[in-house]
């Protein structure tokens, strides 16, 4: 748990009228190395999508396995299909790799230069120019610090606004200034990508003239979060489960009235329940001393699952839930924005409150909600553990 956590997130806008995006982001994570590649294929549509997909897959796989950039570039040149119209095979790319000791390698070809923020401000990192197969490749080596942010861009970002709001597009310096303005210490990589993507979409008047992708990587301290929902099958296990939950490192979320009652009894602390419906569809939260958040169970988790599907999507950059205070939004902020390591404690006892014919909620629904939520969290790059009892 002492190693830094490498978090990433990205958003893509398709060129107006195109079903497929000509940009592609590929990530490979292992115990010792994180690799992300953003490739931008020549043109748009199907051809560009094929070029960027091949490029990102090849580069991510080869570099993650320690193969040098010269061999990678030569492999791409031999693999990419040649465009009949232009007579060339072409895809630009940006690669960021971060090792277990926070050693960073950045390799760039023809994309807008990767932006690096340190302490929330632009950091001018050194670059070395290489010539490989007639291509000018920029290479960088440095040591990252916790809090460092790397922003990878396709050229759709710097074309945003051309011919409408801006004469020369949204230049890289403008994007740097915007990223500095948006940056907050607790902001996730996906949130920053969403903010820049939303700005690009606005400059394009929601009709992008080019495929546009923003991928963000952030070096973070680890933040564990534990969530418990449902009572144990055997009531005699209550004490052991509570002991395990409260001796686990990190923040704690308690979901469900029966679960909150067990927690209250274990801690010998009262439940301070609220009757305020901040969102009419989401039951109110409560408070128990020693717990970071107490919410209702299945209905609230169902909304969290809905939000997670959008958050994990590279096509959605809606951020309205981040400012809400209902239970589902508060859980979402803890799990999506703050947490790096998440442990679900899931009770499999049938809840008497769910046996009401007017509210038919069976155990399988709760378990499926947690399994689907865990899957989406893993897709976000979180480390997730699920324990049943």
Which three-class secondary structure state does DSSP give residue 110?
strand
- Are 260 and 122 part of one and the same domain? no
Asked if residues 176 and 122 have their Cβ atoms less than 8 Å apart, the reply is yes
State the residue range of the domain holding 29.
Answer: 5-220
- pLDDT value at position 315? 82
Specify the 3-state DSSP secondary structure of 185.
Answer: coil
**Number of structural domains the chain divides into:** 2
Domain final position from 184, 205, 220: 220
By C-alpha distance, which of 163, 151, 221 is closest to 8?
Answer: 151
pLDDT of residue 2: 53
Q: Are 125 and 151 in contact (CB under 8 A)?
A: no
Q: Which of 220, 249, 268 delimits the end of a domain? A: 220
- Residues 253, 356: one domain? yes
Residue-wise pLDDT tens digits, 125-151: 999 999 988 889 999 999 999 999 999
Q: Are residues 210 and 230 in the same domain?
A: no
Spell out a b/e string for 217-227, using b for 16 or more CB atoms within 10 Å of the CB, else e: bbbbebbbbbb
Question: If you average pLDDT over residues 149-172, what whole number do you get?
Answer: 85
Q: What is the pLDDT of residue 259?
A: 96
Domain match, 214 and 230 both: no
pLDDT at 73: 86
Task: Reduce the DSSP state of residue 93 to 3 states and report it.
Answer: strand
pLDDT in tens, 299-336: 999 999 999 998 888 887 777 788 899 999 999 999 99
pLDDT tens across 223-275, in order?
999 999 999 999 999 999 999 999 999 999 999 999 999 999 999 999 998 88
In this structure, the chain runs to a length of 389
* pLDDT tens per residue across span 272-293: 988 888 889 999 999 999 999 9
Are both 213 and 324 inside the same structural domain?
Answer: no
**Hey, which residues does 138 pair with through a beta bridge?**
108, 129
CB count within 10 Å of CB 371 equals 13
What is the distance between the alpha carbons of residues 251 and 295, in angstroms, rounded to a whole number?
A: 14
- DSSP codes, 130-153: EEETTEEEEEEEEE--TT-EEEEE
Give backbone dihedrals phi and psi of 384, rounded to 5 degrees, phi first. Answer: -125, 135
- Sequence-distant (≥ 6) Cβ neighbours of residue 114 within 8 angstroms: 94, 96, 106, 108, 150, 151, 152, 153
Among 257, 191, 229, which Cα is nearest to 371's?
229
Domain-ending residue, one of 163, 188, 220: 220
Q: pTM of the full predicted structure? A: 0.90
CB 93, CB 111: distance < 8 Å = yes
- Cα 25 to Cα 36: distance, rounded to the nearest angstrom: 7
Domain at 31, CATH number: 3.60.40.10
Q: State whether 176 and 274 are in the same domain.
A: no
Are residues 164 and 64 part of one domain?
yes
User: How much is the mean pLDDT over the chain?
Assistant: 91
52 close to 23: Cβ distance less than 8 angstroms: yes
Res. 168: pLDDT tops 80: no
User: Are 242 and 191 found together in one domain?
Assistant: no
> Are 167 and 244 in the same domain?
no
Q: Are residues 269 and 187 in the same domain?
A: no
Nearest-5° Cα angle at 340, 28 to 187: 100
- 167 and 284 share one domain: no
One domain, residues 260 and 138: no
Which residues sit opposite 136 in a β-bridge? 131
């Amino acid at each position: 748990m002492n190693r830094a956590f490498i978090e990433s997130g990205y958003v893509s806008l398709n060129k107006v009228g195109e079903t497929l995006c000509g940009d592609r982001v590929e990530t490979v994570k292992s115990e010792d190395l994180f690799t992300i590649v953003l490739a931008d294929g020549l043109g748009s549509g199907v051809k560009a999508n094929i070029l960027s997909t091949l490029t990102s897959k090849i580069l991510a796989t080869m570099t993650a396995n320690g193969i040098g950039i010269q061999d990678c570039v030569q492999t791409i040149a031999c693999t990419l299909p040649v465009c009949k119209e232009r007579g060339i095979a072409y895809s630009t790319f940006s690669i960021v790799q971060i090792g277990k000791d926070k050693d960073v390698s950045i390799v760039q070809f023809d994309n807008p230069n990767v932006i690096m923020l340190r302490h929330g401000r632009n950091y001018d990192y050194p670059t070395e120019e290489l010539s490989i197969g007639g291509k000018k490749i920029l290479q960088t080596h440095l040591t990252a610090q916790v809090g460092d942010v790397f922003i990878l861009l396709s050229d759709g970002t710097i074309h945003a606004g051309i011919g409408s709001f801006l004469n020369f597009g949204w230049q890289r310096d403008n994007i740097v200034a915007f990223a500095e303005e948006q940056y907050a210490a607790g902001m996730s990589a996906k949130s920053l990508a969403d903010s820049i993507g939303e700005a690009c979409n606005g400059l394009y008047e929601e009709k992008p003239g080019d495929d546009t992708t923003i991928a963000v990587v952030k070096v973070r301290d680890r933040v564990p979060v534990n969530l418990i929902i449902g009572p144990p099958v055997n009531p005699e296990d209550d004490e052991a489960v509570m002991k395990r939950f409260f001796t686990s490192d990190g923040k704690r979320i308690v979901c469900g009235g029966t679960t909150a009652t067990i927690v209250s009894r274990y801690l010998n602390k009262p439940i301070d329940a609220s009757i305020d419906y901040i969102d009419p569809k989401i039951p109110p939260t409560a408070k128990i001393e020693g717990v970071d958040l107490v919410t209702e169970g299945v209905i609230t988790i169902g909304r969290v699952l809905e939000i997670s599907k959008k958050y994990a999507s590279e096509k959605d950059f809606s951020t309205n839930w981040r400012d809400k205070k209902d239970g589902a939004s508060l859980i979402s902020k803890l799990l999506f924005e703050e947490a790096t390591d998440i442990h679900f404690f899931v009770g499999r006892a049938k809840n008497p409150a769910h046996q009401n014919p007017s509210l038919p909620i069976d155990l399988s629904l709760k378990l499926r909600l947690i399994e689907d939520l865990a899957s989406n969290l893993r897709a976000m790059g979180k480390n997730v553990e699920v324990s049943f009892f």
